[in-house]
Amino acid sequence: MYVRGPCSVISMPKTRNAKSTPSRPRADLAVIGGSGLYAMEGLERVREARVSTPFGRPSDAVVLGVLAGRRVAFLARHGRGHRISPSMINYRANIYALKSLGVTRIFSVSAVGSMKEHIHPGHLALPDSFLDRTTKRASTFFDQGLVAHVAFADPVCPVLTAQLAEAARALGVMCHEGGAYLCMEGPQFSTRAESRLYRHWGVDMIGMTNATEAKLAREAEICYATMALVTDYDCWHESESAVSVEGVLAIMRRNVEQAKKMLRHVIRQPTPPVACACPTALRGAILTAPEAMTASVKRRYRLFLKAPPAGASNGRA
C-alpha cells in the first residue's frame, strides 16, 4: 500500500477559478506507473485529487504525498486494478491533470519488449527516441481552434534521463542508456512478421504507451523521461518463448522493485537546474493569432497560453 496515515480525497474543478481553492494540492514531480506499478510506497500525508479536465477524466485519481521531503504525484496509467487498455487511456486528461497540479517533471515507468539480443528480460532501459505506430488515440492537445507545432526531435528530457542513469549506476541496476522505443497500438502483442520488421528497422524496444505521453508532455512543457522495464523478447527470438502475459508478469515483479529503488534514489537527490528546452517548448510554436481564438478556445487552453504565438512581439496569447 502507498498510504501511510489517513488519506483525504479532493475533487478538482475545471473552472477558471479552480486555483483559488484553498486546499488545492500541488506537486512538482510526478510518476506515471504502468503495468505492475500501481502505487508509490512510502508516501506520507497522502491526498487524492480527482481532477476534471477539458479533455475528460484521467485514468484515476492523482495520488499526492510527501516522499523524502518532496511533494510527489502518482498516477496509475491503466487505473488501479488495470482497467484501461493502452488504446483507451485518456492520455490528454492524464497529462493535463498533472500540469494543473503544478507538475513540471514526469518519470514514466512502462513495460517493454526487447528487440535487441543484448537487452535481456529483467534489465531496464532509458530510451531517447520513439517511433510512433499508433493509430487510434489523440496525441495532441491542439485540435480545436488552436494550432501549435512543437519541436520533438529529442522527445525525452536529457536532464531527467541523466538522473535515472545516475540512479541505476549508484544502485548497481543493469540499465541500458539510449535507444529507440517503438510504440505500437496494441492491445495484442506483435506477430512474428511484425517483430522481424521492427528489428530490421533497428528499434531497441517495443511498448504501447510512452510515445503518446511524451508528445503530450512536450506540448504541456513538462520534462518527461521513460524508465522501460524489459520483460521479454517480443516474438522474434529463435530460442526464447514468444511474449505472453504469464511470462511478462513473472519478470515484471522483479523489475518493478528495481524501478521503485531508482525512483526513491532520484526523488531524494537535489532538483537539478533547468538545462533543457522542455519548459519552453511552446515558445514560438503557437501559430494561431490571439484575435482568432474564441473565448471557448482560450478557456480550453488556458494552461498553455502563457507562451506568445509565433510572430507575436509581446504579451500573452
Local confidence band at 117 (pLDDT 50, 70, 90 cut-offs): very high
Whether residue 63 has pLDDT greater than 70: yes
Distance CA(92)–CA(255), nearest Å, equals 27
Q: For the residues 207-213, what does the mean pLDDT come to?
A: 98
pLDDT at res. 41: 83
Distance CA(170)–CA(237), nearest Å, equals 31
DSSP letter for each residue of 85-96: -GGG--HHHHHH
Q: Which of 60, 128, 204, 234 is an active site residue?
A: 234
pLDDT at res. 144: 93
Whether residue 24 has pLDDT greater than 80: no
pLDDT at res. 38: 85
Judge whether 255 and 125 are in contact, CB under 8 Å.
no
- What average pLDDT is seen over the chain? 89
**Grid cell at residue 294:** 474564441
DSSP letter for each residue of 191-245: -HHHHHHHHHHT--EEESSHHHHHHHHHHTT-EEEEEEEEEE-TTT-SSSPPP-H
Nearest to 134 by CA among 32, 213, 36, 248: 213
Predicted TM-score of the model (pTM): 0.89
Local confidence band at 12 (pLDDT 50, 70, 90 cut-offs): low
Whether residue 7 has pLDDT greater than 70: no
Q: For the residues 192-214, what does the mean pLDDT come to?
A: 97
Residue whose cell numbers read 479536465: 53
Please give the single-letter amino acid code of residue 271.
T
234 noted as active-site residue: yes
232 noted as active-site residue: yes
User: In this structure, what are the phi and psi dihedrals at residue 223, rounded to the nearest 5 degrees?
Assistant: -65, 140
> What pLDDT, in 10s, does the model give residues 214-267?
999 999 999 999 999 999 999 998 877 766 777 677 788 889 999 999 999 999
**What are the structural domains, with CATH classification, of the chain?**
8-280 (3.40.50.1580)
Q: Which value, to the nearest 10 degrees, does the dihedral of the CA atoms of residues 72, 301, 210, 68 take?
A: -10
